[in-house]
Structure 1
Amino acid sequence: MQERVRRDKAAAAYIRVASQHPEDAGAVQHQRAGCDRIAAKRGLTIVREYVDQGCPAELERQQHLLQLLRDLGRDQDVASVVIWDYSRLASDLEQLQAIIDWIRNCGAEVITMTGVEAASRFITEHDQEYMNERERRTHK
């Protein structure tokens, strides 16, 4: 009989790889291994794993992320969602914030392999895109 994991030690892992090419199968394994290391470092047990392969970071196309969010909202049985990097969740800052807010409202936290560095890079990239778009509009 499998022992039940306490909620505060239970985690769900989310993995996303944009490509479906066979040579990218290693990327799934790489992210999985990273998520396992994150969980072990924090004393967590991954009780569920969700993998979107072959889809961009667009929420309506990330069927397994949507399932994770539904499961989390319904069951609220994990305290953490482990991901390799924030960019696995979303490609824009607004969507990323909405997903993180949903997870937090369900009583869980997001834990990443790369942590704040990735968030800073994500925001910096977003800011650069905004500045480039603003520059294009100015010179029309």
Structure 2
Amino acid sequence: MIKEKMLGENIMKIRITSGEYEIIDSGIVIAAEEDKDVTFHVEAGIAFSFSLQLTFKNNDSGEQTIERNITGNQIKFDCYNFFNAGTGTSELIELATYQGQKMYIKFWSYLDGDLPKKKKTRKIEYTFYLGK
């Protein structure tokens, strides 16, 4: 990711890397509602595009897992039992290949808020990487 900032009369550029990977995007998303999906639509020119949908569900096992389903250029992660304290990926997850480099994501999800009769807010921190 290259960020540009004005520093006086000059433009300062900052390129962010982590290990051998270039960080191409990073941020925080607040889902519209606790149980609503979040979808990233990724495009780079006419020939490269895909969507990544994060869906948060609960099941009886209580085990925190991610099920990955790919249909065409749509990737869906069903994230099970991602609770309050924060749950996410500890390793990079490969998404696609762009111009000979692999694209990855890492994300972490939290449920914030604990007021009676109020819905919780789902916050997702994410980073997209490009590299080997």
TM-score range, shorter chain: under 0.3
Q: Greater helix percent: which structure?
A: 1
TM-score (norm 1): 0.25
Normalising by structure 2, report the TM-score: 0.26
